[in-house]
Structure 1
Amino acid sequence: MSQITLEGPVVPAASGTTKSIVIFLHGFGADGSDLIGLAPELAPALPDTVFYSPNAPHPCEMSPFGRQWFSLASYDPEFLRRDAHTMPTALKALAEGARENTASLAGFIDEALMQHQLDAGKLALVGFSQGTMMALQLGPRYPQQLAGIVGFSGALLGHDTLAPEIVSRPPITLIHGSADPVVPVQASHMAQSVLAENGFDVNLHERPGLPHGIDGEGLAIAAKFLKQHLS
């Protein structure tokens, strides 16, 4: 696994005192500026939290401006919607890309904890789409237990290799639109099932009619979860 130093926008704790950390992990083709706008929305519930939103390590293969955590060249959401039984195989094929890039993300987490002199139990990951895939790849394998993971519109990759690699079991909440045309909601149902079977405290909130995105109700669910686990 290669490690690339990550950087991106930061929003300091609103109170001026940092007692916890949230790291946003953006989706494919975006960058850190895409999710950092959620920080002011979450700050009222998390006044002592600093928010980081690193750019993914690689230029996006399908966009001249965005970034990617790993390649999606083999990903076909239309095929997955037509035949959900193909999903485990498709997600397994993406897992190696996620695995190869966890070192960069783990290094970013290490540095944030060291800078603020906090332990992992005061840091949560909030992912969207491919960012959720990264959060669910790294979180259970990170050497210390994180405070929690919020996964919007994502998937669990390589579920068949999860069990023997679990190091810790942070609480997880998944939020996914029922009308998502990019990552079918079945991906989060599968993630919930596999994570629960492996002893994780995991909840899934399906947002009726929502496409690939984050709505106000989903953000409120995330804020409540983060406040509970970072306080």
Structure 2
Amino acid sequence: MARNRNVENPVRSATLRKWYARAWWVGVHVYGYVVLGVKGALSPQALPTGQFVVYLVVAVAAISCYVVLQCSSPGQLDKRPMLAPVQTTTPTELGSSPRMATEDDDDTELLGDGEENEHQGSSTDLHFCNECHVFQPLRTKHCKDCARCTRQYDHHCDCVGTCVGENNRRLFVLYLFLQILEGAAMIDVTSEAFTEQDDVNDWFKANALFIVLWFMLMCVLLIVVPLFCYQAYLISTNQLTLSVF
């Protein structure tokens, strides 16, 4: 009973962290668009038509890319059940005791599909994951946050709530690029929304929501811009974050 609880806890924790990340992302976007929308700063009346259309397209593209990224698979290996030792029924010679069949006797099953084993020379050259019960192909790592092995594992993104791996890495970079465009657009709109006041205290009171939003957006850009540049460099040089650090 205790063993089953220990196995289920990592999966449950990973699921909770993913939903926390989604709640954070949705909260930031809802706050930003509600503040700008309610104050009238983000509307066809406040912005030139062309600028408003561009900002709207960027926002829709960024949100759509986020949804697709959430639904995408980073390239996770299928978990295998633990194989219990079983006595073979083959007669033995010279009265020797029966041989025990173990996980090592069925490397093909543990290694998974042929696509996952394209780099293998022999199972002894690969690392065996005791959590997923599979041999890991090259550049594969077990993610403790997702409780799964991921091919070409780069890193686990807490903000997105998923691993970045073989199948979704370029999509992740596209998402970062769209987030930069969206953040820059919202900063521009927020900066234009500030109202002038004669007194400093009155200015802070009148623009409190915009000040909070402006600093939130700047913090996001300070994280996303370097990350985008770094990821673009790694892809261009065929490297992974895991192999660099």
Per the normalisation by structure 2, the TM-score is 0.27
Larger Rg: 2
Identify the structure with bigger relative contact order (alpha carbons < 8 Å, sequence gap 6+): 2
Per the normalisation by structure 1, the TM-score is 0.28
By percentage of residues, which structure has more helix? 2
